[in-house]
Amino acid sequence: MKLISSTLVFKIVSLVVQILLLIGLAATVASTFIQVVVAFQTGLIYVASIVLENVLLIIVFLEVYLSALDFFKGKGRSVIYVIDAMISFVSREIIIEILTPPFNYLDLLTLGGLVVTGAVARYVISRKFPRKSKLRNKAARKTH
């Protein structure tokens, strides 16, 4: 009896994760459309609030999806995508906190600190591990 190869398991898991993320993304887009239609009865400011909140959530899904793709392709930038997703999600939470008064200043400061921490981490990682294409471009310029 032969065991299933690890590459086959890896490909299956990759496909399942991608499908689940795409389902989540599609559900978020559909939910956004439904919420916008319902919100038109309340007013345009509420519509703008719904769109802003949900667009940022869609961006989070896209960042996580890109992270998963990079991970399963064996590329090293998946951490950057996770940090980007975290920054997008926390930014979304800040906007939700501001748009739903009364807001808590301590929560806003904490969330703002998370965004700053994520931005610093992203900067450090991108400076420490530049993309291969940037390295190739620098090497090509030096030889010419």
Angle 13-65-69 (CA atoms, 0-180°, nearest 5)? 60
Cα separation values, 43 from 39, 40, 48, 93, Å: 6, 5, 9, 22
* pLDDT tens profile 101-140: 787 889 899 999 999 999 999 899 888 776 655 555 555 5
* pLDDT tens profile 24-63: 999 989 999 999 999 888 888 888 888 888 888 888 888 8
Q: What percent of the chain has pLDDT over 70?
A: 85
CA 7 to chain centre: 27
pTM score: 0.63
Calpha distance 30→133 (Å, rounded): 37
